[in-house]
């Protein structure tokens, strides 16, 4: 009698366990179905042997979706910049820093002990580079009117005095900043409509040009154009026109203004 009761209890227990397992599997199937039916979800196909391949496929699809969103955002930004700017404002990228080891050093040359630029350590510097032509200019903030100009990438830099005299020089003071402007588009900023103060210098957008003036020499104006730089001194009625050819063209201030207009 006792053995018969034990047998009955064993049968009942097994039936209960089988029912619970069936219910759990059904619930799991319902949850999987619900997740698979959610918008944008990706469901794994059956088969444990292909699990790694399926996960790789999912990651690839996610990467494609991210790239599509990124490209759309970049296109919107480019369209906005093109719409909001033109001429020199669209071509010249600006960066401001202080003269020091980081701004002087390039990937090929580090700042050395005894570097002559040590006397300008800590002084502010503003560098602009034309992203189309490679032309660049550099303004030390304490300069009373002279500045550096590089006609194009790879060309030797020039110093242009307030009188319009052009000298060959060895390098920019902030060579590192110039290199960063070339290699990293995020290092610089496009000129906004608001004036930019750079020590003795002030930069403003004036129509298709960026016009740079110096508070110590109010008769001096430097025009950053889409493909050239023009220095005009009203006091001497002289001007220097520089483009990527690196050959200065000397003319009167009146003639330069006529060409600019």
Looking at residue 170, what is its pLDDT?
85
Higher pLDDT, 114 or 168: 168
- Would you tell me how many other CB atoms lie within 10 Å of the CB of residue 89? 21
Task: Please state, in angstroms and rounded to a whole number, the distance separating the CA atoms of residues 172 and 128.
Answer: 12
> Running DSSP on this structure, what letter comes out for residue 202?
E
Q: 181: buried, middle or exposed (CB in 10 Å: 19+, 13-18, 0-12)?
A: buried
Least-confidence region, from 45-59, 150-164, 226-240: 45-59
Mean pLDDT confidence for 134-152: 95
Is this prediction's pTM over 0.95? no
**Each residue's pLDDT tens digit, 71-114:** 554 444 444 444 445 689 999 999 999 987 667 555 555 545 55
Which two structure tokens, joined as six digits, stand for 24? 């759990």
Contact 103, 181 (CB under 8 A): no
Task: Please state, in angstroms and rounded to a whole number, the distance separating the CA atoms of residues 157 and 257.
Answer: 25
């Amino acid at each position: 009698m006792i053995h018969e009761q034990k047998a009955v209890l064993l049968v009942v227990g097994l039936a209960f366990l089988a029912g619970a397992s069936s219910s759990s599997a059904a619930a799991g199937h319902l949850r999987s179905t619900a997740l698979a039916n959610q918008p944008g979800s990706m469901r794994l196909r059956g088969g444990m042997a292909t699990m790694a391949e399926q996960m790789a496929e999912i990651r690839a699809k996610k990467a494609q979706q991210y790239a599509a969103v990124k490209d759309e955002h970049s296109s919107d930004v480019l369209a906005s910049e093109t719409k909001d700017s033109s001429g020199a404002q669209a071509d010249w990228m600006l960066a401001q820093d202080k003269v020091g080891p980081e701004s002087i050093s390039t990937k090929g040359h580090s700042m050395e002990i005894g570097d002559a630029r040590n006397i300008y350590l800590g002084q502010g510097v503003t560098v602009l580079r034309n992203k189309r032509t490679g032309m660049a200019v550099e303004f030390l903030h304490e300069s009373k009117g002279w500045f550096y100009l590089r006609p194009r990438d790879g060309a030797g830099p020039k110093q242009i005095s307030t009188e319009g005299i052009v000298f060959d020089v060895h390098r920019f003071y902030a060579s590192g900043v110039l290199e960063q402007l070339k290699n990293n588009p995020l290092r610089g900023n496009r000129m906004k409509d608001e004036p930019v103060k750079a020590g003795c210098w002030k930069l403003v957008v004036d129509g298709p040009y960026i016009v740079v003036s110096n508070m110590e020499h109010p008769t001096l104006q430097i025009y950053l154009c889409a493909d050239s730089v023009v220095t005009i001194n009203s006091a001497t009625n002289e001007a220097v026109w520089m483009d990527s050819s690196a050959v200065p063209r000397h003319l009167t201030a009146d003639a330069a203004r006529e060409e600019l207009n």
